[in-house]
Amino acid sequence: MLLAAGAGGAYGRGMSMLALILAAAVSAVAPSPATAGTVPEACGARDGWSDPAVPQRIAANVWYVGTCGISAVLVTSGAGHVLIDGGPRDAGGLVAASIERAGFRLKDVRWIVSGHEHHDHAGGIAELKRLTGARVAATAANAAVLRTGVPAADDPQAGDIAAFSPVAVDRVLADGETLRLGRLALTAHVTPGHSPGSTSWTWTSCARGRCLKFAYADSVSAISAPGYRFSDHPGYVAGFRRALATVAGLPCEVIVTPHPSASGLFDKLAGKAPLVDAGACRAYAAQGEAGLEARLVKEKQ
- pLDDT at position 7: 33
Asked whether residue 27 is assigned to any structural domain, the reply reads: no
Catalytic residue among 81, 194, 216, 284: 194
**End-to-end CA separation in angstroms for the chain:** 54
- pLDDT at position 188: 98
Residue 284: active-site member: no
Residue 176 has pLDDT above 80, yes or no: yes
- Kindly state the average pLDDT of the residues 269-294: 98
Catalytic residue among 85, 120, 155, 218: 120
Asked whether residue 21 is assigned to any structural domain, the reply reads: no
- pLDDT at position 34: 54
Catalytic residue among 228, 233, 236, 277: 228
Catalytic residue among 64, 81, 85, 116: 116
Asked whether residue 14 is assigned to any structural domain, the reply reads: no
Counting the structural domains of the chain, the total is 1
Asked whether residue 10 is assigned to any structural domain, the reply reads: no
Asked whether residue 48 is assigned to any structural domain, the reply reads: yes
Distance of CA 99 to the CA centre of its chain: 15
Distance CA 78, CA 45 (A): 35
Asked whether residue 15 is assigned to any structural domain, the reply reads: no
What is the band of 296 on the pLDDT scale with cuts at 50, 70, 90? very high
Asked whether residue 285 is assigned to any structural domain, the reply reads: yes
Q: What is the domain-level CATH number for residue 136?
A: 3.60.15.10
Q: What is the pLDDT of residues 76-92, one digit of tens each?
A: 999 999 999 999 999 99
Cα angle at 56 between 54 and 57, to 5 degrees?
165
Q: What is the DSSP letter of 218?
A: P
Residue 162 has pLDDT above 50, yes or no: yes
Q: What is the pLDDT of residues 109-135, one digit of tens each?
A: 999 999 999 999 999 999 999 999 999
What is the band of 33 on the pLDDT scale with cuts at 50, 70, 90? low
Residue 81: active-site member: no
Catalytic residue among 81, 119, 121, 189: 121
Residue 116: active-site member: yes
- pLDDT at position 141: 98
Residue type, 36: A
Give backbone dihedrals phi and psi of 138, rounded to 5 degrees, phi first: -160, 160
pTM given for the model: 0.88
Residue 189: active-site member: no
Q: Which domain holds residue 267?
A: 43-300
Please choose, from the candidates 64, 45, 36, 89, the residue with its C-alpha nearest in 3D space to the C-alpha of residue 260: 64
- Kindly state the average pLDDT of the residues 137-143: 98
Contacts of 172 (CB under 8 A, 6+ apart): 137, 138, 139, 140, 143
Cα-Cα-Cα-Cα torsion 238, 244, 247, 249, nearest 10 degrees, comes to -90
Residue 247 has pLDDT above 90, yes or no: yes
Residue 11: active-site member: no
Asked whether residue 20 is assigned to any structural domain, the reply reads: no
Residue scoring higher pLDDT (30 or 259): 259
Catalytic residue among 118, 119, 155, 284: 118
